[in-house]
Every structure is written in C-alpha cells, then in structure tokens.
Amino acid sequence: QVRLVESGGGSVQAGGDLRLSCAASGLTFHTYTMGWFRRAPGEEREFVAGLSAGGALDGYGDSVKGRFTISRDNAKNTVYLQMTALKPEDTAVYYCVATSNGSWRRPDGWDYWGQGTQVTVSS
C-alpha cells in the first residue's frame, strides 16, 4: 500500500519560510517522479513543483517560481518543498504526489496523493 505523509505545514507571516516534507512508503521511491500540488479554498488544484526520479529535472508553477524549491533524498524516501518569501496567496492545503510516468501539470497525471498539510500565510 502506497502512503505519502506530509508534514511541516503551519502558520507563518508573510515573508516567512516553511519547509514541507513528504515521507513515502510502499513504492520504489527512486523510480518515481515526485511533486507538490496545492488547493486554496474555492479553487482548483494547482501544480506547485515536480522533480524527476533521479533529481535531474524539475519544474515549478508560475506563481511559485523563484521562491519555492523542491528536492528529494532517495535514501530517506522523502521529498521536500522549501518555501521562501511566502505570501498570503500561498495559503492552501499542500499535497505530496507521485507518478511513474504522468503529465506533471495535470492533477490526473499523478498516481498517488497524500492527505495534505495546511499552510496559512497571514499578512
């Protein structure tokens, strides 16, 4: 059974930083592309970041490019999302995702989803 468990969410003031972690189990982690989506209240799910299995290729949503960084530790089966210069509009539930071969920017391109972790940014 595949499990993706997010942690590190919380409340922060605008301009602050947070680092999310996602511990994966039940899959051959180093063969999966990993990523993050988010969903703000009343909004559609939004692609945040993706990182290829070997870590050589990454991609970001336009709204977070230059502020967020995705990384992974294949020895620990963990993917991270370092978020800096946070803005109130970054407030959302953040989901860890995994795919063996999908389209990164589409929600239906991902095979597995975590339960999500709340990030709240106050102005």
Residues facing residue 49 across a β-bridge: 36, 60
DSSP state, residue 101? S
* pLDDT at 4 > cutoff 90: yes
pLDDT at position 49 is 98
10 Å Cβ neighbour count for 90? Answer: 22
The helices-and-strands tally (H runs, E runs) of the chain is: 0, 11
Mean of all residue pLDDT scores within the chain: 96
Joined together, the tokens standing for residue 31 give 């063969």
Helix boundaries (H) for the chain: none
| % residues pLDDT > 90 (the chain) | 94
